[in-house]
Chain A
C-alpha cells in the first residue's frame, strides 16, 4: 500500500475554477469557502466552538473558532496557489548534553515557578483564565509557524500500532461521554457516573493540586511542541 504524503492538502494547486473567477466576487468567496471547509480540522474545531458557545463557554468558543478560521483561510489561500512561508524552527538543534542539561533545568524551574504562581488563582477566575490563555496562544502561534526544532522526519509508524492507540483514545472518549450522558443533567455531576472533570474537582480545589496540574499541562505542551518534526521538503507542513 503506498504511504501517503505528510499532508496531501498541501499539494493543492491553483484549480481552473479558482483561477477563472475574479478575486472579491461572490463566486470567488464561494470558491474560497469551499476550499477552506475541505479540511476536516475546520469542521471539528468549528463544531467544538459551536457547542462551547451554546454552553456559554465563550472564551473557549472564540479560541476554537479563531483557530478554525485560520486553518480554513490557510486552506483557501493554498487553493489559490499561495504557498505558506518556509518554516523556520524557533530553536536551533539540541544543545550539547552538558549545556542542554542546564537549559532543561532552567526551563523546568521556570515552568514550575509559573505553575506555582498561576495555582494561586481560583479556577474559572479571570486571572486563572489569563494564565492559561497566554501559554496556549503562544504554543499555537509557535505551532502555526512551524516545528520548534529542526528535528528529523521519522518514518511512519506501523498502522497496526497506530490503530491500537486510536482505539484507546476513542474508547476513552466514549467512556467519558457515556459518563457525561448518564449524569442527571449535563451541568449536574453524578457520583455514580463520574466524568474526569468531576474526579479532578477535589484535586483542583487546592493550591497544590492546581499547581501540580498546571505543571503537568505546561509540561505536556512543551513535550508536544518538541514532538513536531521538521519536514524540509514541505514548507511549513
Chain B
C-alpha cells in the first residue's frame, strides 16, 4: 500500500463514518442526531449562523476565487 492509498483510505473512512452516523440518525429512537439537527443547533444563535455561513463562503472562495 502506497502513501497515496493510505491517505485516500483515510478520506474514504471518514466519509463512511459520516454516512454511517447519518444512517443511524435516520433510525427512530437513535441518540445520534442527523447532521441537519446538529447544524440547526449550532445556528440557533447569530454567532453560530455567521460562523457556519462564513465557513461555507470560505469553501467557495478557496476552490474558485482569487
Contact = CB atoms under 8 A, between A and B. Distances in A.
- How many B residues touch the partner, as a band? 35 or more
A59 B40 contact: no
A229 B41 CA distance: 8
Contact of B37 (A154, A199, A220): A154
Interface string B28-62: 00111101111111011111111111101111111
Main SS class of interface, A: helix
- How many A residues touch the partner, as a band? 35 or more
A237 B48 CA distance: 9
A153 interface: yes
A190 to B, nearest CB: 8
Given A125-B66, A165-B35, A194 B45 contact: no
A38 to B, nearest CB: 11
A171 B14 contact: yes
Given A157-B41, A193-B7, A197-B62, A41 B50 contact: yes
Interface string A159-188: 011101100100110010001001000000
A62 to B, nearest CB: 10
B54 A64 contact: yes
A10 B18 CA distance: 32
Nearest to B10: A175
Contacts of B40: 154, 227-229
A33 interface: no
A28 interface: no
A194 B54 contact: no
A157 B60 contact: no
A140 B53 contact: yes
Contacts of B31: 158, 160-161
A192 B2 contact: yes
Interface of B: 2-4, 7-8, 10-11, 14, 17-18, 21, 25, 30-33, 35-41, 43-54, 56-66
Given A9-B45, A168-B18, A227-B39, 14 more contacts: A64-B54, A71-B47, A124-B65, A133-B61, A161-B32, A165-B21, A165-B33, A172-B14, A192-B2, A194-B8, A199-B11, A227-B36, A228-B43, A229-B44
